A = this chain, B = another copy of it.
Amino acid sequence: MSGQKRTVFYLSDRTGITAETLGHSLLTQFDNITWETVNAPFLDSVEKAGAVREQIDRAAEHDGCRPLIFSTLLKPEILDVIKQANCRVFDFFETFIHSVEEELHQPFAGMAGRSHSLQHHMAYFKRIAAINYVLAHDDGIDPRHFKEAEIILVGVSRSGKTPACLYLGLQYGIAAANYPFTPDDMHVQQLPEVLQMVRSKLFGLTLSAAQLHVIRSERHPGSQYASLAQCALEIEWQESIFHRYHIPFQDTTRISIEEISTIILNRCGLKRRLYG
């Protein structure tokens, strides 16, 4: 069965983020399958469901095997239409909701899309404030306000500070600043002065010199800046600083933005605010 092509549909009353997150986590456990992905968010009427049913049947015919359907649809009448198609349905909501009802001794509210909808004005403002903080303190901008940061990521150029800060701000509402070490900082074996006052908030990002070389070469091929020797020098300097000043740090060579962010939250004891 190696090399098969299959189609997967993510169905939801609202954004479809939950359906896709769950389905993806299952499907990544299977190799040698090429996935064609169809997203059907905002599937909130029987008419729209009829159109998706036809799309599923066409995919089944085209692939020569039935599509997988991951659904967080709340309304049974919409899912009933889908079930008439030639497909295999994995229904996250139906599978769990009744056990949760039983455990909590109350019926579920039956309102669609609560998970990724705007529920609290204050949570929204906090999230926007965190994003604004991250943008205003990216790349060492305005270090006078570093004392207002919840966390300050430090590392050499292209060590992944900006994406991690944005993720922390956007997903978790964390006021994250970052400061790039530059060759100018490396003339002495000392933490730059502007960081000394906020040492307890620092978290270092490091990676292999080889990986840094690949990343820098992507934008500046052949430059001194991107050379393996320069990358090795900068990494060696920063890791000696992390050790000397007892700054917690993480090697990010083989990990994603999501993983880096989770590790930082976890190691620094920051409260996750994934949902408000």
Contacts and interface: CB of A to CB of B under 8 A. Distances in A.
Interface of A: 1, 6, 14-18, 20-22, 24-33, 37, 39, 41-42, 68, 72, 88, 90, 92-93, 95-97, 99-100, 103-106, 108-111, 113-119, 121, 124-125, 127-128, 131, 135, 138, 162-163, 166-167, 170, 214, 218, 254-259, 262-263, 266, 272, 274-275
Nearest to A125: B218
B117 A256 contact: yes
B258 A116 contact: yes
A254 B118 contact: yes
A72 B275 CA distance: 19
Contacts of A72: 25
Contacts of A113: 259
A118 B33 contact: no
9 contacts: A17-B21, A18-B21, A21-B274, A37-B272, A88-B99, A113-B259, A121-B214, A128-B163, A135-B135
A152 B27 CA distance: 33
Contacts of A37: 272
B274 A20 contact: yes
Contact of A170 (B15, B163, B274): B163
Contacts of A22: 18, 21-22, 92, 96
Given A15-B258, A90-B100, 15 more contacts: A18-B22, A21-B21, A21-B274, A25-B72, A26-B97, A26-B100, A28-B114, A28-B275, A29-B111, A29-B114, A88-B99, A90-B96, A95-B96, A116-B259, A124-B256
Nearest to A28: B114
Contact of A30 (B96, B106, B117, B163): B106
